[in-house]
A and B are shown apart, each in its own frame.
Chain A
């Protein structure tokens, strides 16, 4: 355990803990970003350049912005924080444990854990990753891309239908409701 690893690990964990415990949602999101950044720095520290930078690009650059936008566009998220033993808290804990179990199982059964302590990290260049993605794993890549596109189109259609309902359907009712409100 080296000093950089220690610092980064503490930063990541602290970010995660802060994301769970802070009162304002935007603060939580920002804390989450700290934890993302720490994670990507951990990858870089391990020599996984591509994974680290992709993590940074996707999570800090895109996901964080997405979260923040979602928080800002949906009002009323700032309720009383629920206790650790509320239903939501219990479900969360179960999910977290499940993820941890899967990851632990994966690490345990992988070659790294079995072969002993130190395995020289393979020197993988960006070129090789590119070749792997474009040749060996091109089908999974395309399938994932297709799935994401489908999801995106679905989201757009969902958003569209809501709008049409508003204008065509019961605008009178909506108005009445507005009046009552």
Chain B
């Protein structure tokens, strides 16, 4: 009959109206500053640089290979390689970034930098409340701002972090085994004068598995 559909519709909206006061599930809105969605683990915002241990300058994983700088589609990463070198987690001497800037105003959160980094040095953060009143300086993040400890990464992306850590432990073990083998060979050929490098490797091997490098 004419008008029936309208009445059905009115009943439906009335049910919504009263239901929204009773059932919280109906309301899809989140009252943002007070309530927040829990973000899924794979959510990502902007990149961070990871370091091992307590000292950001010493433990920074990035070796300034500049792959990410070249791969970044909008070109928002700026890296300047250091002149000197420092040992990485397996003890190999590597460069490190003297300057590592990301312009987050340009970054599009594509995660390509993470995918291409061979050193597990760059990862995506989850912090999204980043508004600033300074649109140039405030959105150009320097190495110091970007550096985050590995524990932080373990906290925000536990599954990914576990996988990375496992791989790195394995790499370390392999490197140590190689170093040990090399050392043994060296000891065989020239029994006196054990090298500095093998000593370094041995001390690293004694460390616990998770805290990979000091």
Contact flag (A, B; Cβ within 8 A) = no
